[in-house]
Amino acid sequence: MQRRSTAGIIVAVVVVIALVAAGGFFVFRSAKSEAAKDVELKYVESVNASSSLSNTTSTSNNEAANANSNENANSNENANAAASGTKVDYISGIPEINQYSVLPAGCEIVSLAAVLQGAGFNVTPGELADDYLDYGDGDSFVATYSGSPYDNGGGLTPVTVKCGNAYLEAKGSPLRFKELKDESFETLTSYISRGIPVMVWTTMYMDEPMLTNIVEDGYEWYDNEHCVVVYDFDDSTVWVMDPIDGYVERDRAEFERIYRECGSMAMTFDL
């Protein structure tokens, strides 16, 4: 009996040890399983995050493409409307841009950027100066730009028209600029009446033109050369966006006189 009891005790102890070991094994497996779930969860979260980032990037790219497409579509629609004689609005969106903050000597290119922005194009004066302005060899102020709009330079209507058209062509727009040379001021205002702004060559601060007798292809250079955007008028006043003075009013008779004395140079959209 004693030996049986001892044997029974031994068996019981073995059984208990086995159960404890098994329990530990299950606890270990359970812990390992939970850890695996954590890893799996983190992996899924990572994949989802990557997918979300990819979708966000794709959405941003699509939005940018759509914005460019809408810009071209809107400008094309306005161009077609203006070509048919319908009044358009290329004026209300003209921004006030100070040349000294972007191109200190580039009133022509700043005015050009303002007119393009008014027509719905997303372009800066710096982009026009860097990518589309023809500098040639620096000897001309008519066919090419003389000097640098960032420092000391200038250009008259032909090179500015060329710059604007190079940009429009690159953007796939049907719009084009044209020069208005030796036109009456009434011709200029006829465009403004249709919602089309006109860039006019005048003088800085409406001072008297400082003519130089330097003539190239029928264009005379003057030292205080300046370009502004005319966007409204009445019998006695013209409203301009001046790259130096901002939105200002000018006496119409005085503005017309200086326009003529500077050589009657202007440009606008060919509509």
What CATH number did the domain enclosing 159 receive?
3.90.70.10
In this structure, are 202 and 154 located in the same domain?
yes
Tell me which of 34, 51, 86 is where a domain ends: 86
Domain count, the chain: 2
Q: What's the rounded mean pLDDT across residues 167-174?
A: 98
In this structure, are 40 and 102 located in the same domain?
no
Q: How far is CA 168 from CA 5, 78, 93, 102, 176, in A?
A: 106, 14, 18, 21, 7
pLDDT at 256 over 80: yes
Total-model pTM: 0.73
Q: How far is CA 107 from CA 93, 119, 247, in A?
A: 19, 19, 14
pLDDT at 4 over 50: no
pLDDT in tens, 5-51: 444 433 333 333 343 344 443 333 333 334 333 433 333 343 343 34
pLDDT at 144 over 50: yes
In this structure, are 31 and 102 located in the same domain?
no
Q: Provide the domain limits for residue 206.
A: 88-269
In this structure, are 147 and 255 located in the same domain?
yes
pLDDT in tens, 176-190: 999 999 999 999 999
Strand duo 225-233 + 198-203: pairing? antiparallel
On average, the pLDDT of the chain sits at: 80
In this structure, are 223 and 238 located in the same domain?
yes
In this structure, are 99 and 51 located in the same domain?
no
Q: Give the separation between CA 117 and CA 114, rounded to whole angstroms.
A: 5
